[in-house]
A and B are shown apart, each in its own frame.
Chain A
Amino acid sequence: MISRAHKILFLVMLLACVIMAAALIRLRNRAQDRLQEQAGSAPASIAEESGNPVHTVTLYVPNDLDGSLITVERSIALPSDKNAQARVLLESLIAAFHAQGSTHPIGVESGINEVYFLPVPGVPGQPPQRASSPGAPGQPSGQGEMAVVDLNGALSAAQPSGIEPETLTLLAMMATLHANLPEVTEVHFLVDGQPRETLAGHADLTRTYLASETNPEPAPEAAQ
């Protein structure tokens, strides 16, 4: 025979369990929403926390359905260091790749290890150091800077294979860099710090690309 006190205790404990379960579910949903918000604006929020000024930047987002680059304006806080600026720009671009409704989905959170800048060779009186014939890939333009973009291996692994998707990824990065950092005239790509023949089996990574190949107009409010 169960006493009345035990019955009351059991009911109280059952009620407490139900209340705690409801509270846990609510907390879990809140945490999930918070994480999703952070994932959607990770580079900007990181930069904003550091108190950097906010710039309007132009991102060139690929559209795989017609092979075009779509211009997207974003307001993001850019650090003063140029290497960090370039990295934040490209990370914002990659975040746009996997945004809802993207036709160029690359499911990776962070795709850039680092961006380095080198002066472009081709000073008068010095022989060209890469190729010599007209139209040669990697032919120095003789002015501006070359951005060496060290891609993350995760980005290369997540990149859909094909001429169009791979070429669009590279063009989008080059166009975004050139539009916001007009002094970038050439771009070379590495993967995890090493030269790689292709991005994912198609687009050639052994050559140096001219930023002008993408033909983007520099953004009116270029980040300095």
Chain B
Amino acid sequence: MRWTEAAALLSFVMTASAPGQTPQGTPQQPPQRASSPGQNAPPAPALPQTPAPQLPAAAATPLKPAFVVVLDAAHGGTDTGAHLGNNLEEKDVTLAVEWRLRSELLARGIAVVTTRSSDAAMTPVARAETANRAQAEACLVIHATATGSGVHLYTSSLAPGPMTRPLPWRTAQAAYVTQSLKLESEIDAALGHAQIPLTLGRASVQPMDSLACPAVAVEVAPLVGGNVTKSRDLSDADYQKSVVDALAAALAAWQSDWKH
């Protein structure tokens, strides 16, 4: 038996012997959604009761989609985030934006992994674990705030570092900073095209520094009225949609650009 077949068999047996534990999550975490295009969170298959048959490696090892995006809706549960006025809390806005963006990306044929799908509290470590397990080509950390105008884009303030194996947990993002800046530039162009004012910067916000993927924090602020723009509230569905459309367009462009 070749080593790949042996590894596949071992993986299958371990899955069968750990009921309730999915490959995408640990028992302490809420279930994660790993959605592929045309696949809408199918129910988990029933576990076999008979001894595990020897499956060919290709059938037992799930294939990773060619391009995966991780969406991290910040805050959740008792961690409400910022109070945005009118009984609006940051954790709800981030989840709403995440849901809209997830749908847009799936419609464009892009696989999506989300760190939370409900109003559940998650530690930064658990979020980074989920994101890093997905081996994504882009990670967006979604925030919202009541101050400023338009969208604020932040990349990690870490200095670029070499790609080492294993990556140090607290500074994993250092190896991806250059790519993160390119992704930020892609989003910058898309938001500019949509005439949404934006601010670029570097910041130290968890779990950004632990993400092993090109990562950008997207902070959505209300739209302050100006010469070109009309005043828009964070709860405005049209405003959320225009931001989400621009982000989806940027990620679609990144799908063809990220290897270069």
Contacts and interface: CB of A to CB of B under 8 A. Distances in A.
Interface of A: 64-67, 104, 131, 133-137, 160-165, 167, 197-198, 200-204, 207, 209, 213
B174 interface: yes
Contacts of B127: none
B179 to A, nearest CB: 14
Interface in B161-175: 161-162, 164, 168, 170-171, 174
B5 to A, nearest CB: 37
Given A207-B204, A213-B157, A135 B177 contact: yes
Contact of A163 (B83, B146, B205): B205
Contacts of A197: 206
B243 to A, nearest CB: 15
B204 A133 contact: no
Most chain-B Cβ atoms within 10 A of its Cβ — which of A197, A198, A202? A202
Most chain-A Cβ atoms within 10 A of its Cβ — which of B83, B144, B147, B201? B147
A188 to B, nearest CB: 12
Interface string B219-238: 10100100000000000000
Given A163-B143, A164-B221, 20 more contacts: A64-B148, A67-B148, A104-B147, A133-B174, A135-B160, A135-B174, A135-B177, A160-B147, A161-B82, A161-B146, A162-B146, A162-B152, A163-B152, A164-B145, A165-B145, A167-B203, A167-B205, A201-B90, A203-B203, A213-B202
A137 B75 contact: no
Interface bin, chain B: 35 or more
A160 B145 contact: yes
A209 B162 CA distance: 21
8 contacts: A64-B147, A66-B199, A137-B170, A162-B219, A163-B154, A164-B147, A167-B204, A213-B157
A136 B147 contact: no
Contact of A203 (B177, B199, B205): B205
Contacts of B204: 137, 167, 203-204, 207, 209
Contacts of B148: 64-65, 67, 162, 164-165
Contact of B174 (A67, A136, A163): A136
B199 A164 contact: yes
